[in-house]
Chain A
Amino acid sequence: MTDWTLEGLAAAIRAGKISPVEATRDCLARIDRLDGGLRAFIAVDQAGALETARRLEAEQGRGAWRGPLHGVPLAFKDLCFIRGLPTSCGTRTAEYFLAEGDCTVVARLAAAGAVTLGKLNMSELAMGPFGDNAHHGHARNPWRTGHCPGGSSSGSAVAVAAGLALGAVGSDTGGSIRLPAAACGIVGLKPTYGRVSRAGAMPLSWSNDHVGPMARTVRDCALLLQVMAGPDALDATASPAPVPDYVAALDGRVAGLRVGVVENYFFQGIDAEMEAGVRRAADVIAQLGARVSELQVPDPRTMSDVTNIVSRSEASTIHARLLRERPHELQPVVRARLELGMHIPAYDYLQALRLRARLTRGFIAQVFAEVDVLVAPVIPEPAPPLAHATLGPVHELVARQGRFSRLTRPFNGLGLPALSVPCGFSSTGLPLAFQIVGRPFDEATVLRLGDAYQHATDWHLQRPPLS
């Protein structure tokens, strides 16, 4: 079953070729066999998953179908609150985050028939682009287990890449869906700000948090987004805009699409193999009939700094009690980042929010007058060794983290949809990736181009060397 896509498994279950219980048992057996080394999960809910699968199987026997994910095993970043399961958010405290009700996206996926396998490893408090976690053990990159999986949704990417789950949910405040997706060779979508409800997910920065899908294919991400997206009375920032049919949008029609390869900032100082991989991806897109051109965008460093000011201020405010009462429980680099937020004056925070509005307006007006989507690298280098992420003085680690997430963070501030897609491998066997960035609420075009790219390539069909 490890080669199946989420969509393929859903169809096989519906056709009676495999049952929800068989699919769930298969994932649980694989988790049991591999997760001791990979550490993708913080908590596996074996009993709950099998109980749900049996119920779904019984419903199937009566001809009842919950929805497009009936019987499909998924797993969730451990910042999604689910009744009956602890939500550590990667901290030492098992039940760090409590919400009034189940995380909206988890509830929607369950209502569509998904089976919850458990809660996934993550960087502490979703702060850290490498995916290391001293409390729960470092998640491991399935392609080379001595290397980082990327973070903060580390377990989400590892679980999907290793075939432990058919899809996962992650969150992205500065790149935390796209970075691990890129590092582990899967697909991850940060939707437009407001496209997906964040209710019931631990906040890190209410201005920059996004919840989104992670899967092996763009098509599977579209299927998950279809279920996850839409207005939510529990999240005031969730847009009331109607949700288009994302799966129907995957029609392969990319001829004439205006694609801009961003030449300023994004290729500066990045690894040569990564740059070559992204430029080859742009060539493939051109061969599909898209009008690919080089493009300069408004300086992303400004938006990156603005986003950082806002995120640090809000994260420190949200997690002030932990920082004040139990700072010794935090990893030093997480504590240092939170402490900095305490030193940002209200004046600078508010000016940053005002600047963000102006910068976003200007970016959208300038860039999308010229192109329909942007193409750029996601990570500046293939996943580095874990030791690289965890060794050294705190200020060096903070700076290293900032460099690794510098290509994703601007799009959190801009709120634009951004899709990470695998586009090859380095000479050392680690995944390469590029991101497709679109107009606000134009996930359909972003997904359409990503899907067309995957139809023309086979990077997403490669599997990590796990026994």
Chain B
Amino acid sequence: MKGDLESMDESGPRQAEEAALLGVIERMAGDLALAEEPARFIAALEAGRPSGGDDPE
């Protein structure tokens, strides 16, 4: 599919954007813990819920 969709006049900027976007993976993903997994996002939200009783004074 990639070849079919390639647009010659925009492929240069697209590749630059792609490289810039994926740079974050290069920089940040190297030291992810083996146990890290996508579902821990939901767990983080659930764990971060207000505990009740934390109303302002």
Binding site for B on A (CB under 8 A): 192-194, 207, 237, 239, 241, 253-257, 290, 302, 305-306, 308-309, 312, 320, 323-324, 327, 336, 339-340, 342-344, 347-348, 350-358, 360-361, 364, 368, 372, 393-395, 398-399, 415, 439-442, 445
* Subset of 19 A-B contacts with CB under 8 Å: A193-B42, A194-B42, A309-B24, A312-B21, A336-B10, A351-B29, A354-B38, A357-B44, A358-B32, A358-B36, A358-B40, A364-B48, A393-B10, A395-B10, A398-B17, A415-B41, A442-B49, A442-B50, A445-B50
* Cβ contacts under 8 Å, B4 to chain A: 324
Assuming the contacts A257-B56, A309-B22, A364-B48, asked whether A357 and B41 have C-beta atoms less than 8 A apart, the reply is yes
B47 to chain A, nearest CB (A): 8
Check A357 against B37 for contact (C-beta < 8 Å): yes
Check A344 against B18 for contact (C-beta < 8 Å): yes
Interface of B is mostly: helix
Check B29 against A355 for contact (C-beta < 8 Å): yes
Contact residue among A192, A255, A344, A415 (Cβ-Cβ distance under 8 Å from B57): A255
Check B49 against A309 for contact (C-beta < 8 Å): no
B44 to chain A, nearest CB (A): 4
Assuming the contacts A348-B25, A351-B29, A355-B29, asked whether A194 and B45 have C-beta atoms less than 8 A apart, the reply is yes
CA distance A73 to B24 in the complex (A): 45
Interface of A is mostly: helix
Check A309 against B38 for contact (C-beta < 8 Å): no
Contact residue among B10, B24, B32, B55 (Cβ-Cβ distance under 8 Å from A394): B10
Binding site for A on B (CB under 8 A): 1-2, 4-7, 10, 13-14, 17-18, 21-25, 28-29, 32-33, 36-50, 54-57
* Cβ contacts under 8 Å, A358 to chain B: 32-33, 36, 40
Total number of residue pairs linking A and B with CB closer than 8 Å: 135
Q: A356-B41, A393-B10, A439-B48 are in contact. List 11 more A-B contacts (CB 8 A).
A: A253-B55, A255-B56, A327-B5, A340-B14, A342-B1, A351-B29, A393-B13, A394-B10, A395-B10, A398-B13, A440-B46
Check B45 against A395 for contact (C-beta < 8 Å): no
* Cβ contacts under 8 Å, A393 to chain B: 10, 13
Contact residue among B2, B14, B22, B23 (Cβ-Cβ distance under 8 Å from A336): B14
Closest 10 CB pairs of A and B: A395-B13, A256-B57, A353-B38, A357-B40, A305-B24, A440-B45, A256-B56, A364-B48, A351-B29, A357-B41
Contact residue among B7, B22, B36, B57 (Cβ-Cβ distance under 8 Å from A348): B22
A120 to chain B, nearest CB (A): 29
Check B21 against A305 for contact (C-beta < 8 Å): yes
* Cβ contacts under 8 Å, B57 to chain A: 255-256
Report the nearest B residue to A438, measured CB to CB: B50
A118 to chain B, nearest CB (A): 34
CA distance A192 to B29 in the complex (A): 25
Check B5 against A342 for contact (C-beta < 8 Å): yes
Assuming the contacts A439-B48, A440-B46, A441-B49, asked whether A357 and B17 have C-beta atoms less than 8 A apart, the reply is no
* Cβ contacts under 8 Å, A343 to chain B: 2, 14, 18
A205 to chain B, nearest CB (A): 13
Check A439 against B49 for contact (C-beta < 8 Å): yes
CA distance A108 to B51 in the complex (A): 28
* Cβ contacts under 8 Å, A368 to chain B: 48
* Cβ contacts under 8 Å, A348 to chain B: 22, 25
* Cβ contacts under 8 Å, A290 to chain B: 56
* Cβ contacts under 8 Å, B17 to chain A: 340, 395, 398-399
Assuming the contacts A194-B42, A324-B1, A357-B37, asked whether A440 and B49 have C-beta atoms less than 8 A apart, the reply is yes
Report the nearest A residue to B55, measured CB to CB: A253
Report the nearest B residue to A444, measured CB to CB: B50
Contact residue among B22, B36, B49, B55 (Cβ-Cβ distance under 8 Å from A354): B36
CA distance A323 to B13 in the complex (A): 19
Report the nearest B residue to A336, measured CB to CB: B10
Report the nearest A residue to B32, measured CB to CB: A354
